[in-house]
Structure 1
Amino acid sequence: MNYFQPVALAVIKKKDEYLFTLRVDTYKDLNGKWQIPGGGVDFGETPIEALHREVREELGIEVTVLQENPQVKTIMRKNWQGILLCYLCEMKDTTAKIVLNEEATEWKWMSLEELRAQESIPGCVDMVEKM
C-alpha cells in the first residue's frame, strides 16, 4: 500500500546553529542519521498545530514560529511520499531542558557546515540552506 503524508518540521535556530536530533528508525536507511525535529500532520490538525505537538513530544520544549510560510520539499521512498513543510523557529525559553522521546538518541546544536560533515536524512541540508 502506498502512503502519502504531510510532515511539519521545525528548523530551530539559535544564533548560527540549528537543533538536530539523531534518529531512531526501523527503516535502516534513516536510522542513526541527523534530522530536523518534527513529524506527520494528523487528520484534523493544521501543519502549525502538528509542528508544536511534535516538538513538545520529541523535545519537551515550546517554539515560536518565525516564518508562517514554510519551505516545501517532496521526498519519495518505495511506498511513501512526504510533503515536508519546514518552518523556521526558535525556542521560547532558551534555558529550557531538552528531553528526548524514544524517536531520537541525541540532540545537538550544529552549524550548517557541521551538519554537512555528518550523516543526515536526505534533503536535510537542503532544507536548512533554504531557510
Structure 2
Amino acid sequence: MSEIRKHIDVVAGAILRGGRVYGACRSYGDYAGTWEFTGGKVEPGETDEAALIREIREELGIEVTVEELLGTLDHDYPKFHMNMRLYICRHVSGEPELRVHSEGRWLGLQDLYTVRWFEADAELIRRLEAYLR
C-alpha cells in the first residue's frame, strides 16, 4: 500500500531590485542552511498575488508588486509533495528584515550559483538567469 504524502501548494517571489534578485537562507527545520525565494502557502480563497504580497510582507517587511509567472515546479521531498509557482516581483519599498531567515542578500547574475538552493529550484534558477539576461 502506498503512503499518502502531504501536498503543499506554495507561491514564491523572485524579488528584483536593480538587476539583482533577493535570496534568503532558511534558518529552521530539515532544510536549514538552504537558500530559497521568499513565499509561502496559499490560504483557502486567497489568490496567488495576495498570498505572495502577504508572505513577503510577513517574512521580510517589504512591499512588492507581482508582475508575471516565471515558472512552476512539482517536486517530491521525503516528507511531502510540493507544487510551487515562482513569480517575478518588483521591490517597491522597505529594506528586507531577517524575520524568519538566518541570512538574506541581493544576488546578481554572477552570484546565483554561489549559494545552495533547494534542489527542486534548479530549473527555476535557470529560467531566472535567462530572464535577467
TM-score (norm 1): 0.86
In the TM superposition, residue 51 of structure 1 has moved relative to its aligned partner by: 0.6
Q: 1:83 to 1:9 in 2, by over 3 A?
A: same
Question: Structure 2: where are the runs of 5+ without partners?
Answer: 129-133
State the one-letter code of the partner of 1:9. Answer: A
Higher strand share: 2
The one of 13, 21, 25 equivalent to 1:22 is 25
Q: Does 2:1 align with 1:6?
A: no
In the TM superposition, residue 90 of structure 1 has moved relative to its aligned partner by: 0.8
Query: 2:104 aligns to what SS in structure 1?
Result: strand
Matched residues, percent identical?
A: 26
TM-score (norm 2): 0.84
Distance (whole Å) between structure 2 residues aligned to residue 15 and residue 125 of structure 1: 23
Q: Does 2:117 align with 1:120?
A: yes
The one of 117, 125, 129 equivalent to 2:126 is 129
RMSD (Å), alpha carbons:
1.6
In the TM superposition, residue 124 of structure 1 has moved relative to its aligned partner by: 2.8
In the TM superposition, residue 3 of structure 1 has moved relative to its aligned partner by: 0.8
Q: Which residue of 2 aligns with 1:48?
A: 49
CA displacement, residues 50-82 of structure 1 (integer Å, 9 cap, x when unaligned): 111110111001101121x34111121123111
In the TM superposition, residue 122 of structure 1 has moved relative to its aligned partner by: 1.5
In the TM superposition, residue 112 of structure 1 has moved relative to its aligned partner by: 3.4
Q: Which residue of 1 aligns with 2:85?
A: 85
Query: 2:112 aligns to what SS in structure 1?
Result: helix
Q: Which has the larger radius of gyration?
A: 2
Q: Which residue of 2 aligns with 1:111?
A: 108
Distance (whole Å) between structure 1 residues aligned to residue 125 and residue 49 of structure 2: 18
Query: 1:26 aligns to what SS in structure 2?
Result: coil
